[in-house]
Amino acid sequence: MLVHINLNISFAHHIYSPYHTKMKKITIKMMMAGAFLLAMTQFANAQTKKTNFLGGSAGFSSSKDEAANEETSGYGVDLRFGHYIKEKLAIGVKLGYQGTKDENTLAGAETTDKTTQFSVAPFVRLETPLWQTKFSIYSDLGIYGAFGSDKTEAAGAETEYKTTGFGAFYEPGILFHIKDNISLQASFGNLIGYDYTSGKADGSDVKTTSNTFGVFGDQFGLDNFRFGINLKF
């Protein structure tokens, strides 16, 4: 009786052991295939999701005051790079270069003032879609550091000031999304801003400083209108 039971167990083990081993191998292969497909899906999603943007804008302005015999012109260009930490929230940095030229005649004497400035500005951007349209509003809030020069020519003499400055700004603008990864950008400049500037003339130890804070100030309006493009990648 005992021998018969032992033989049955041995026979059963001989029959079912290869089957279970084969099933385990198939299960492991299916799990590996599933894990590979999941990894490839995640990788594909990461590749198709646009998490960075690169943009640039430029602007030019010109005005003339006949009564004051004064002509003023200005230009500005900037390059921006940003990374979306959420779908509509990004952090970035803006590199800017701008210049102005002011010419006036007073009592027959001509005076020309030229300024140039290079700036670096880290910022935070929030985008707000406008209903179901292709438009959205962006709000850039940031700080900046800048350096440049201010040259004045009058009565055949020239004076140059080396300038440095820093400040904070809030710049709103509009984006028009041509495609998912291409947008047109328009802005009128800084709606709210604080600026500190210091300057020193060549060969002089005298230092001049200025502080300005404004809402709808000199850096917001038609004279500071800029148009550009944003690319997402």
For 169, residues 6+ apart whose C-beta sits below 8 A from its C-beta are: 121, 140, 141, 142, 143, 144, 190, 192, 193, 194, 219
What is the predicted pLDDT for the residue at 196?
96
Pair 80, 92: CB distance under 8 Å: yes
What is the predicted pLDDT for the residue at 214?
84
What is the predicted pLDDT for the residue at 222?
74
Task: State how far the Cα of 171 lies from the Cα of 191, in Å rounded to an integer.
Answer: 6
What is the predicted pLDDT for the residue at 31?
67
What is the predicted pLDDT for the residue at 66?
83
Flag residues of the chain having pLDDT under 70.
1-48, 217
Residue type, 131: W
What is the predicted pLDDT for the residue at 40?
52
| Residue 31 DSSP SS3 | helix
What is the predicted pLDDT for the residue at 3?
42
| Residue pLDDT, tens place only, 42-88 | 544 545 577 999 999 999 999 888 887 889 999 999 999 999 999 99
**Two tokens at 179?**
């495609």
What is the predicted pLDDT for the residue at 35?
64
Task: State how far the Cα of 89 lies from the Cα of 51, in Å rounded to an integer.
Answer: 10
What is the predicted pLDDT for the residue at 109?
81
What is the predicted pLDDT for the residue at 21?
58
What is the predicted pLDDT for the residue at 148?
96
What is the predicted pLDDT for the residue at 7?
41
Query: Which of the 8 DSSP states describes residue 156?
Result: T
What is the predicted pLDDT for the residue at 220?
75
Distance of CA 51 to the CA centre of its chain: 12
| Residue 129 DSSP SS3 | strand
**pTM of the model as a whole:** 0.75
What is the predicted pLDDT for the residue at 14?
45
Task: State how far the Cα of 223 lies from the Cα of 219, in Å rounded to an integer.
Answer: 8
| Residue 12 DSSP SS3 | helix
